[in-house]
Structure 1
Amino acid sequence: MAISPPPPDGETAESGLDERLDNVLTASRSSRWHASATRWQAAREVAAINYLQATLGTERFLPPIGGWAIDYTVAAAILDIIRRHGRPAYVLELGSGSGTPWFAAMAAQAGGHLVSVEHDTDHVDRTQSLLDHYDFQGVCTLVHAPLIPGADGASWYDPDPILSAVGHHKVDVLVVDGPPARSGPNARRPALQHLAPLLAPDALVVLDDVVRQEEQQVLTDWQHAFGERLQMLPIVDRASIFRLLPTDKESSR
């Protein structure tokens, strides 16, 4: 069998050059896409910040948010929906932090109240310091609820302190931004199981961090569990915002 001679050195060099050029062009296109996406995200954040400041009417510099905390676009979307309710808003936040003063400001403007839940005592102290600094003590109840193992093995907040803090109120906005992922697999999945009975008929539910695979699985599990009762609102990418409609039995009460 005849063996083909190796290509001349010129052909090998030309082939390698073409490959390198393709790699450069691919990297350039990727860089342009990322730069464009970054500019678009920055523009959205600026628009959200302007809306929050103009609507909340606060002259205080509230703590920056983003990263693993609720970001400005999500906060702006929540505020917009609260304002459209046209009534006092009762907000329940799972996982306190830099976003807590923002939710307290929203609740205060709507004549409502915020209950913020935190499992870590150090975070409780830090969040309480923020609330004291911004004079939000009267509109926010900060609840320490330690994590306890559930029947499925997942750790979630002790529900008793939460139920005690909410009392007879119905929750208009539930923000699920905790427990943190490091507390165990699908750490946020039990939220609706425990808290769905506390929700108002037209309550808004916000599941943050759905860019992560674990939160996507939590959302899928909720969609299977609640079916058509879970109505998605395609407002922002970073979080899933939806309404959990009451059952027929609850609606007839």
Structure 2
Amino acid sequence: MTDSIEQLQFIEKKLDQLTEAVIKLSKDIHDIDTQNKEAIEAVKNEIVSQVSTNRLRLQRHVTTSSTETIQQTEALWQLYPQLDTPGPIMPPSGNFAMDPRTLLHLSSLIKETRPKVILELGGGASTIWMGYLTEAFGTKIITVDHLKEYRNITEGYVRRHNFNKRIECRLAPLENVAVSGHEFLWYSQSSFSDVTDIDILLIDGPPQATGESARYPAFPTLRESLSPQALVLLDDTHRKTEQEILERWSSEAPGYETRDRGVSRLAVLQKRRNEL
């Protein structure tokens, strides 16, 4: 009899323990379910937020791209009629080459300046466009590239469009130069040291990847080779680096001023009228 009672007590104890375990397990399951619901809700809210944000970004991108396409198309419609003697197919514009709106801006500056000498740092499509746009002025154009591959491509365009007599393509490998107390990797100056009285200095190189503020040396180095009415044109000023270069030039040469901001990716630096 005593053994039976003890066995019953043992069983009752185990049942109590099992009941407690079941209650605890039920509570844990409830807690986990609640946490999962909260986590799922948080993920859902994040997805909704990201979708909304990306939708707005996409809308802005589409609007900006559409506006950009319209502007570039308008520029092309204005640009091509300026070619008095249409020749072979023109080099492609855009991407690493100048876009049509920038070329149209360049065209207006050429008409204004009627340059006799243009020095271009970084040739390409712009070289050929300048060849056509300066036909009436007999302009001498010297274009410089740091790699033989690039120089050869531009030289091929020049031959194809029969500009050999007015456009000279030169190779100027990059080398270390000291400018304003800093070291830069820039064009070998011996390649164009003979070029003087520059009416337009067009700066579209070296490429950004060649070094920090890669195009900064151009103006300080060539300033004394500019004609009194010269225009210094810096391309790609939609980029922060080029904007900083332009501001630095302006602060270091108070006799010069910038103009035509926002017209295209081309920034214009010229002598102040009272300095001429």
TM range (shorter): 0.7 to 0.9
1:134-153 alignment to 2 at 5 Å?
134-151=161-178, 152-153=182-183
2:94 is the alignment partner of 1:62: no
- 1:218 is matched with 245
Residues paired across the two proteins, number:
241
The AA in structure 1 aligned to 2:93 is: I
* Residue 160 of structure 1: aligned partner: 190
Match of 1:24 in 2: 51
Give the equivalent residue in structure 2 for 1:101.
Answer: 128
1:186 aligns with 2:213: yes
Residues 91, 103 of structure 1: 8 Å contact kept: no
Deviation at 1:149, TM superposition (A): 1.2
Do 2:97 and 2:125's aligned partners in 1 also have CA atoms closer than 8 Å?
Answer: yes
Instruction: Quote the offset at 1:112 in angstroms.
Output: 1.5
Give the AA of the match of 1:53: Y
Residues 258, 267 of structure 2: 8 Å contact kept: no
Check 1:246–1:115 CA distance in 2 against 1; reply closer, same or farther (3 A cut): farther
AA partner of residue 90 (structure 1): V
1:221 aligns to what SS in structure 2?
helix
Q: Which of 112, 130, 155 lines up with 1:84 in the alignment?
A: 112
Cα separation, partners in 2 of 1:50 and 1:58, compared to 1, 3 Å: farther
- Stretch moving more, 61-70 or 105-114: 105-114
* Aligned twin of 1:48: 75
Tell me if the contact between 1:56 and 1:109 (Cα under 8 Å) persists in the aligned partners.
no
2:64 to 25, 30, 37: 37
Cα pair 1:230 1:244 within 8 Å, conserved: yes
* Cα contact 1:201–1:245 (8 A) shared by 2: no
The two structures have a TM-score, normalised by structure 1, of 0.83
Determine if the alignment matches structure 1 residue 123 to structure 2 residue 150: yes
**Deviations 1:165-223 (Å, cap 9, x if unpaired)?**
x24xx222111011122322222111011111222223222111223333233222212
Aligned partner letter, 1:182: A
- Distance (whole Å) between structure 2 residues aligned to residue 181 and residue 247 of structure 1: 34
Sequence identity (%): 27
Aligned to 2:8: none
1:158 Cα offset (Å) = 2.0
Offset of residue 131 of structure 1: 0.5
Counterpart of 1:74 in structure 2: which amino acid? T
**How far apart, in 2, do the equivalents of 1:122 and 1:239 lie?**
25
Question: How far apart are 1:34 and its partner, in Å?
Answer: 0.6
Cα pair 2:127 2:154 within 8 Å, conserved? yes
Aligned to 2:15: none
Structure 1 residues 125 and 199: alpha-carbon distance in aligned structure 2, compared to 1, 3 A threshold: same
Preserved contact between residue 256 and residue 269 of structure 2 (Cα < 8 Å): no
Q: How many Å apart are 1:13 and its aligned residue?
A: 6.3
Evaluate the alpha carbon distance shift between residue 154 and residue 11 of structure 1 in structure 2; reply closer, same or farther with a 3 A threshold: closer
TM-fit CA distance, 1:133: 0.7
What secondary structure sits across from 1:138 in the alignment?
coil
**Any stretches of 5+ residues in structure 1 without a counterpart?**
none
RMSD of aligned C-alpha atoms?
2.6
Which 4+ runs in 1 deviate beyond 6 A?
A: 5-15
Q: 2:222 aligns with which of 172, 188, 195?
A: 195
TM-score calculated relative to the size of structure 2:
0.77
State the SS of the aligned residue for 2:253.
helix
Q: Which residue number in structure 2 is paired with residue 71 of structure 1?
A: 99
Contact between 1:201 and 1:246, CA under 8 Å: does it hold in 2? no
